Structure 1
Amino acid sequence: MKNYISILLISILVSSFTIKKKDKIQIQKEQSTIDRDSIIVFAKKYLGTPYLYASSDPQKGFDCSGFVSYVFSNFGMTLPRSSSSYKNLGTPLKPEDFKVGDVLVFYGYKDKTVIGHLGIICEANGMQSKFIHASSGKAQQVTITELNTEHYTKRFYKCIDVISK
């Protein structure tokens, strides 16, 4: 009887491990096949959504990191919820390597040592790219902005690819 119970427990543990391993592989496959254009189509559904500090709720509004994390979570990706967490995340891309769906990281407008804003490239063209973001500035909503405006070129920290890993 003890041997039977031991074998049964081992079987349960092995099948549990196998399921988890399969789930992990499936998630990795999903991430590697994410269509970058689909990310932007999804993000654009929220154009005009109000800016709301510390929110990632499309019914109430978004702040910049809430918007970025919400968009990518729809595609099975978990990204940091705080813009400051992006300071050491990823490898900076050269402007000629920017792609739709890459994340732009900016310093704050007052402090050039603190990360203060994020956006997602929706039209890739190096430093002339356009990005979608939840703006706390004049727009006060999810909007599309050109990267080459003085306000953003002065604050630009880096661009990172969060899709291709």
Structure 2
Amino acid sequence: MKTYFYIILVSVIVFSSFRPKEKNKTIIEKEQSTIDRDSIIVFAKKYLGTPYLYAGSNPEKGFDCSGFVSYVFKNFGMTLPRSSSGYKNLGTALKPEDFKVGDILVFYGYKDKTVIGHLGIICEADGMSSKFIHASSGKAQQVTITSLDTEHYTNRFYKCIDVISK
């Protein structure tokens, strides 16, 4: 009985090594080119409670808003601007009814409504009542989830962009 098992095991190993490498490569590329929006949020939520750190982009030390957004998307093979100001002219603004999980919310600065000052990732899409995950420099001082319909963020809202769909 053991002999038959070993013969079958060796056969499987030998024959599996003869699969065309190009086919395997295509499967891997296809998996990497399809980004699951829910997976982005599951990954982002791992960092809930991570401290806010100005200019931070390391989960062991802390994140600022753009450091958090760029870190999350980099895990999925996407390179995004490291500074929130880099999002001002990035992408096309979406209508609230088109907001999706994984889209990026872009906000004006706290004091200056002419510059971009904050970012977050939609984790529950519901138009202008969506919830987003972000590294907050406010009261929370950590990665947290906030509702877009709070006065503080509604007043600062600049746009929402989709960086996933091509």
Runs of 4+ in 1 over 4 A off after TM superposition: none
Q: Does 1:60 align with 2:41?
A: no
Match of 2:32 among 11, 30, 33: 30
Structure 1 gap segments, 5+ residues each = 1-21
Larger radius of gyration: 2
Q: Give TM-score, length-normalised by structure 1.
A: 0.82
Mapped to 1, the partners of 2:152 and 2:94 lie a distance apart of 20
Q: 2:148 — aligned with what?
A: 147
Which letter does structure 2 place at the counterpart of 1:75? F
Separation in structure 1 between the aligned mates of residue 31 and residue 46 of structure 2, nearest angstrom = 25
Matched residue pairs, number?
A: 141
- Distance (whole Å) between structure 2 residues aligned to residue 43 and residue 131 of structure 1: 10
Q: How does 1:16-165 map to 2 (within 5 A)?
A: 26=29, 30-31=32-33, 33-165=34-166
Distance 1:55 1:144 in 2: 18
CA–CA distance in structure 2, aligned partners of residues 29 and 131 of structure 1: 26
CA apart distance, 1:30: 2.3
**Cα deviation code 1:18-44 (max 9, x no counterpart):** xxxx99xx4x8723x100000000000
Using the alignment, how far apart are the partners of 1:75 and 1:85 within structure 2? 19
Q: Secondary structure at the match of 2:48?
A: coil
Q: What SS does the corresponding residue of 1:154 show, helix, strand or coil?
A: helix
Distance in 2, matches of 1:98 and 1:112, equals 22
**What is the TM-score of this pair, normalised by structure 2?**
0.82
- Structural RMSD (CA): 1.6
- Distance, in Å, in 2 between the alignment partners of 1:30 and 1:125 is 28
Deviations 1:53-74 (A, max 9, x none): 0010000000000000000000
Tell me, in whole angstroms, the C-alpha distance in 2 between the residues paired with 1:29 and 1:130.
28
